[in-house]
Amino acid sequence: MKRLFIGCAAVVTFGFAESYTQADRILDMQKLAQAMQDIQAGFFYNNLDIVKAGAEDLKKTIVKIGPIQEEINNTDVYERWMDGNTAMKKRIQRRIIQHSDDIIARFSDGDATQALQVYGKISSECMKCHVSLRKW
Ligand code: HEC
């Protein structure tokens, strides 16, 4: 009986850790949008700490993004492939992380123009997923 209980608890815990819900993803997206706004505010107020905090939030959050359980279970092969296009997702995530570090480096060097250019690149990575991968 005790063993059965432990078994069930393990399944519940595991199942919980596995499933990334739509609500989780929307929340993460809102964090990404907030981080982008923070970076931009940091530029306008010429405040490196705000830029850094935004860039760090971006790095922390972007790695969490992925297909939700319903998409993984989708029986439409093409849709499932689009939703879970891991190679493209990983590439976008890697670029956003790289660009976030670049923004911090450029802005720390006092090169706001370059930092702003990198910011534009991040926006286009966001939109790449929304438009190409998600067909929005
Ligand atoms: C790998 C794909 C992917 C990337 C990269 C991505 N998004 Fe999203 N985004 C989505 C998906 C999927 C949704 C829809 C969320 C849902 O309804 O499940 C979404 C929705 C959103 C929303 C709407 C959230 C709401 O309240 O409904 C915002 C804002 C957003 N994304 C911002 C961003 C920003 C900013 C970035 C870049 C820093 C970004 N996204 C990068 C896939 C992505």
pLDDT tens, 62-79?
A: 999 988 888 888 888 878
Prediction pTM value: 0.86
Q: pLDDT digit string (tens) for 76-128? A: 887 877 776 777 889 999 999 999 999 999 999 999 999 999 999 999 999 98
Percent of the chain with pLDDT over 70: 85
CA distance 17 to 116: 37
Nearest CA to ligand 1 atom 14: 26
The label of the residue with tokens 């819900």 reads 21
- The pLDDT assigned to 3 comes to 59
Instruction: Fold for 21-133, please state it.
Output: Four Helix Bundle (Hemerythrin (Met), subunit A) (1.20.120)
Any ligand 1 atom below 6 A from CB of 129: yes
Which atom of ligand 1 is nearest the CA belonging to 89? 1
- The pLDDT assigned to 136 comes to 56
